[in-house]
Amino acid sequence: MGILVDDTTRVVVQGITGKEGSFHAKGCKDYGTKVVAGVTPGKGGQEQEGVPVFDSVTEAVDKEGANTSLIFVPPPFAADAILEAADAGIGLVVCITEGIPVRDMIPVYHHLKKKSVNLIGPNCPGVITPGKAKVGIMPGFIHLPGSIGLISRSGTLTYEAVKQLTDLELGQSTCIGIGGDPIIGLRFADLLELFAADDQTKAVVLIGEIGGTAEEEAAQHIIDSKYPKPVIGFVAGKTAPPGRRMGHAGAIVSGGKGTADEKQKVMEKAGMAVCPSPDAIGKTVQEALASAG
């Protein structure tokens, strides 16, 4: 079953006529995802990669039944693109765009909450339910359908973890890269809740980074909800110097808070199996499943 995307997902790609939008729209379509429309204002009536292009998301929803948006719009216009998708009735927005100003995302975050629209990202690789739908930029061929859910702030480590799981024949239910910006849509705790209700998912891998409080919130959610499934965690950035941004805008240790050691301690306190290093993610999942019976 998985979460967020499946074979009923109908994708509109905002920014489909750009280089990145066109390339990844084709990749999603080749994977088997129903990419039903593209949007670039002023280019309605054209086709891109065999997909009809419209001037607005509203047209894509009305004419092609789009229910999910994949955004490749440049940073100055991406926040407005998210709002347009939400106001057009899109239920899931996946924003790949990197470099959106934080002040642009603040009103977007609150607007989406009022509309009950799910946002993944920005600055993320997207979402994939293996064998069903790929909505993003991840390499589909490394994924294997199965029962392990995966949530990650790091795009590269998402791929590393998935490859390890697949090599051990531990397939994935759904994999989500939530992005590493300070203001994002769905967070670890939100997605843990969705995975808890998913019958296909038997365990969840949570890959965090230094900075912010998302991992601590997830750990508290696991404790408060008496989480019913094994959760395996890893935190990247153990050797990162305080005060220096590492990769993502949100990956920064400030005032001694948000360190990898602190996050690992709260994960362990919540009963998570914490990986000692990135190359041990697959093995740790395997061991956690064996312990759970």
- CA-closest candidate to residue 29, choices 55, 11, 52, 5: 11
Q: Is 156 left (phi over 0), alpha (psi -120 to 50) or beta?
A: alpha
Catalytic member of 24, 143, 221, 248:
248
Which residues contact residue 228 at a Cβ distance below 8 angstroms, ignoring those fewer than 6 apart?
Answer: 196
- CA 267, CA 272: separation in Å to the nearest integer? 5
- CA 185, CA 126: separation in Å to the nearest integer? 12
Q: Looking at 137-219, which runs of residues are DSSP E strands? A: 145-152, 172-177, 203-209
The DSSP H or E segment spanning 126 is: strand 126-129
- CA 16, CA 4: separation in Å to the nearest integer? 22
Q: Quick check: is 248 catalytic?
A: yes
Active site positions, annotated: 248
